[in-house]
Structure 1
Amino acid sequence: MRYVIVGAGAVGGAIGGRLAQSGREVALVARGAHLDALRTDGLRLITPQGTERLRIPAYAHHEDIGPLRRDDVIILAVKSQDTEAVLSDWARAAVTGGGTAGEILPVVCAQNGVANERTALRYFADVVGMCVWLPATHLQPGTVVAHCAPLSGILTLGGFTGAAERYARLLAADLNGSSFDAPVVPDVMRWKYGKLLNNLANALEALVGRDGVPDAADLWQTVRGEGVAVLESAGIAYSTEDERQAVQGSRMGVVPIPDVVRSGGSTWQSLTRGGGVEVDFLNGEISMLGRLHAVPTPANDLLRREVIRLAAEGLPPGSATSDELRAELAKAAL
């Protein structure tokens, strides 16, 4: 199989780089300065085990690749706000021997949030969900840092449709040989809802900055508590922190890398790069479900609104304080 990584940023680049290191065939899809660097110098993958420059074919679009192969697996690693536009385009890509990608090829949603799989199913017949535990950083064109060891991450897989289960198992076999653990489960979306609860912290970290997070512990408990209340009211099952810890154990821990400063999470990185943010599909998912099930979500509403404001105004992470957020939350309660 060839793995076509659409969105070769932090997560996509780490997955693609590790697969390539283990001898799997990979194609990276990127844009702008990152694509230029990949084509000129290759992917610079930094891990606790060292730095390697990987010469992996890199493309801007499926038309650059030419007709896709019948053994291709598309791994989607773009932010959730870009999912529909990207998949509606890639679904129309021609496949060698006839047919289109949407009809013939599987797509794997290696993304945060829980809306991507349903969106993908509008365009692709075979959809695999992936719950991504993979601390990684992409701030410099051509460079991706994967921070954990001995495993780079845990990538829980499951067919979003029954027919996609076989693709999940084939992918798991290759990931298990590429510095990942990739368990295949029958309830991958339960794991993704559990990850969603953790990802609600991304917005808070982006707003107050990494150094401000300890002072915002009460806000985090409020934000997560709203998320739990919403999922339970909606009858949506989610994995627990105890379950995650049992799977992770000591096999995946952040390891300091010389001369590399670990950055913040994905929303922090998006604000730093000046790109779009996926908060609508994280805290915004909780807000949406809260409205559907009459559960108030003022803290998640506030974080979503403030992250969008920072992105629109081009402000960096850490442009708010926990006291400012508490004051705004108190106003909402009046």
Structure 2
Amino acid sequence: MRIAIFGAGAVGGYFGARLAQAGENVIFIARGEHLQAMRRDGLYVESILGDFRVAPVEATDDPASVGPVDVVLVGVKAWQVPEAAESMRPMVGPETFAVPLQNGVEAPDQLAAVLGKEHVLGGLCRIICSRVAPGRIRHAGMEPYVAFGELDNRPSPRAERLRAAFERAGVRAEIPPDIHVAMWEKFLFICTLSGVGAVTRAPVGVLRTIPETRRMLEQAAAEAFAVGRARNVALPDDAVERTMALIDSLPPGGTASMQRDIIAGRPSELEAQNGAVVRLGREVGVPTPLHEFIYHSLLPLERRARGEIEFP
């Protein structure tokens, strides 16, 4: 398959490298020093499953130069999706489809608003990774996993082709019976870990061990669960318990990317995670007091990171 990775940072870089290593025709859309390093040295992945390097790589900062592809894997941060959708238009032909891999549950609608619903699948991934230097990705935890599917949950040959490509690359990939349930299950996990982690600045091993912060994790997951159910997402009854089990399985030093971005003073996915729980909850009349506290507490840091306000 001809696969474009739009946003070749941690997530996009890792999965794109695995696909390229397996022989797929992968084009990385990147920029700045990261792009220069990839063009010069290839893409190096440090992984708990074994380090590897992909070289040479096809990489560019100009989507128009790529032309239509089979699939676009969208690896940008959640807040960058609307702009990315506009930029990827030249790569979207009649048969092209886009798969969002970022955190949150709103990306499919944002992509569909620009590209058309027929060009979009729902999608998600699970992995702990980061870009540690230009041209260098570190996979530090979790078995890499992707899931995707048609927005109406019908079986489709195109989704199966992509699943097979990931399988050839040694990445566990699934087409779940209900992609919206799968995305919301991931959402429960990531908005809980990100929000509580960012407001406490502690790694997951600490959060799940101290009784008070463990209760925060449980409450955050329960609030997101209530919002999903109120929005007619068929989340299973034990979704909160499964979220906590996943949190309990993480390496003790694990942190979420939103947490790391906020601590480092970078723009983050706050609006697409805890902000989204608050916003989507209000739309269906579901109170989310802990997510409101987290969202409101982190807003000053978020707005400073975006240059909207200044303070020491």
TM-score, normalized by the shorter chain, greater than 0.5 = yes
Q: Distance in 2 between matches of 1:237 and 1:162?
A: 13
Unmatched runs of 5 consecutive residues or more in structure 2: 307-312
2:309 paired residue number? none
Q: Distance in 1 between matches of 2:151 and 2:21?
A: 28
Matches within 5 A, 1:272-283: 274-283=265-274
Kindly provide the CA deviation profile for residues 40-87 of structure 1, in whole angstroms up to 9, marking residues without a partner as x: 222110112432222211111213xx2514x43111111111111110
Offset, 1:292: 1.4
Stretches (4+) displaced over 6 A: 241-246, 253-256
1:318 paired residue number? none
Q: Distance in 2 between matches of 1:32 and 1:67?
A: 18
1:204 paired residue number? 196
1:22 paired residue number? 22
1:228 paired residue number? 225
Kept after mapping to 1: 8 A contact 2:35/2:60: yes
Matches within 5 A, 1:202-281: 202-211=194-203, 213=207, 214-215=209-210, 216-238=213-235, 240=239, 264-271=255-262, 274-281=265-272
* Paired residue type of 1:276: P
Matches within 5 A, 1:57-136: 57-63=58-64, 66-69=65-68, 71-91=69-89, 93=90, 101=92, 103-124=94-115, 125-136=118-129
Offset, 1:269: 3.2
1:48 paired residue number? 48
Q: Distance in 1 between matches of 2:240 and 2:301?
A: 30
Change (3 A) 1:60 1:67: closer
Offset, 1:226: 1.5
Q: Is 1:33 aligned with 2:33?
A: yes
Change (3 A) 1:275 1:312: same
Q: Distance in 1 between matches of 2:198 and 2:125?
A: 19
Change (3 A) 1:2 1:204: same
- Most deviating of 305-314 and 173-182: 305-314
Cα RMSD of the aligned pairs, angstroms, is 2.8
* Paired residue type of 1:286: V
Question: Normalising to structure 1: TM-score of the pair?
Answer: 0.78
Q: Distance in 2 between matches of 1:266 and 1:10?
A: 10
Change (3 A) 1:312 1:295: same
Q: Distance in 2 between matches of 1:67 and 1:210?
A: 42
Change (3 A) 1:229 1:277: same
Kept after mapping to 1: 8 A contact 2:99/2:123: yes
Offset, 1:308: 3.1
Offset, 1:222: 2.0
* Paired residue type of 2:14: A
Offset, 1:18: 0.8
Q: Distance in 2 between matches of 1:280 and 1:102?
A: 31
Kindly provide the CA deviation profile for residues 149-198 of structure 1, in whole angstroms up to 9, marking residues without a partner as x: 7xx41211211257883221110001012121111123111110111111
Question: Normalising to structure 2: TM-score of the pair?
Answer: 0.83
Matches within 5 A, 1:138-217: 138-148=131-141, 152-161=143-152, 165-200=156-191, 201-211=193-203, 213=207, 214-215=209-210, 216-217=213-214
Seq. identity, %: 25
